[in-house]
């Protein structure tokens, strides 16, 4: 009897990127540093946003841009998954599929993220709590693949507020 689980690179990219997208969403909403190590610094009381926070008009956390119709955290997005079917060296030959994607802010908030990065405040990260999230997502994915209950992957762009991991 042979055992051959269905390992789909697109499904792996979809599942893991969705988990990372959700991790970033909650980290920004909770006012955490990108690596999950601690809280982001509070807003300064002398700025316009700090005064609004002191008056209870907005949260006293970084990452809240004040746009109530388009909050930064909900509009983090996963780029469409790109697939290439070129030779990939594996233990059984040179076949395979590569799938890759990126987690990024939407166009409206890219300037905000760049400005904050210049001030030393990071919102997107590839270590710390994100590594734990990837490890957990990969474990779940392998279990689903082995069980044979793997669902069809969604290669389209996805906003954080629509992530499947919520």
For residue 161, which phi and psi values (nearest 5 degrees)? -70, -15
* CA–CA dist 152, 6 (Å, integer): 12
Q: In what order do the strands lie in the sheet with 76-78?
A: 103-105, 76-78, 158-159
* CA–CA dist 63, 78 (Å, integer): 18
Model-wide pTM > 0.95:
no
Q: What DSSP designation does 92 have?
A: T
Q: How is the chain split into domains, by residue range? A: 9-38+71-162
Per-residue confidence (pLDDT) for residue 72, from 0 to 100? 75
**Of 24, 37, 111, residue with least CA distance to 76:** 24
Per-residue confidence (pLDDT) for residue 136, from 0 to 100? 93
Cβ-count burial of 158 within 10 angstroms (0-12 exposed, 13-18 middle, 19+ buried)?
A: buried
Per-residue confidence (pLDDT) for residue 129, from 0 to 100? 80
Per-residue confidence (pLDDT) for residue 68, from 0 to 100? 57
For residue 76, which phi and psi values (nearest 5 degrees)? -60, 150
For each of the chain's 166 residues, which pLDDT tens digit applies? 566 666 778 888 999 999 999 888 888 888 888 777 788 777 676 777 777 777 777 776 776 665 655 667 778 899 999 988 765 666 655 566 788 999 998 888 888 888 888 888 888 887 778 888 899 999 998 888 888 787 788 888 888 877 766 5
Per-residue confidence (pLDDT) for residue 101, from 0 to 100? 93
Per-residue confidence (pLDDT) for residue 123, from 0 to 100? 83
């Amino acid at each position: 009897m042979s055992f051959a689980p269905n390992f789909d690179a697109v499904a792996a990219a979809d599942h893991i990127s969705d988990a990372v997208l959700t991790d970033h969403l909650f980290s920004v909403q909770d006012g955490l540093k990108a690596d999950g190590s601690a809280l982001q610094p509070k807003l300064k009381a002398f700025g316009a946003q700090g005064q609004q926070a002191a008056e209870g008009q907005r949260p006293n956390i970084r990452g809240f841009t004040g746009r109530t119709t388009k909050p930064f955290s909900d509009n983090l997005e996963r780029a469409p998954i790109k697939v290439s079917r070129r030779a990939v060296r594996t233990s059984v030959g040179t076949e395979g599929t590569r799938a890759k994607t990126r987690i990024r802010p939407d166009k409206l908030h890219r300037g905000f993220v760049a400005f904050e990065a210049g001030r030393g405040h990071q919102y997107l990260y590839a270590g710390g709590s994100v590594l734990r999230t990837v490890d957990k997502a990969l474990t779940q994915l392998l279990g689903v693949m082995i069980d044979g209950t793997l669902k069809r992957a969604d290669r389209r762009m996805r906003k954080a507020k629509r992530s499947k991991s919520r």
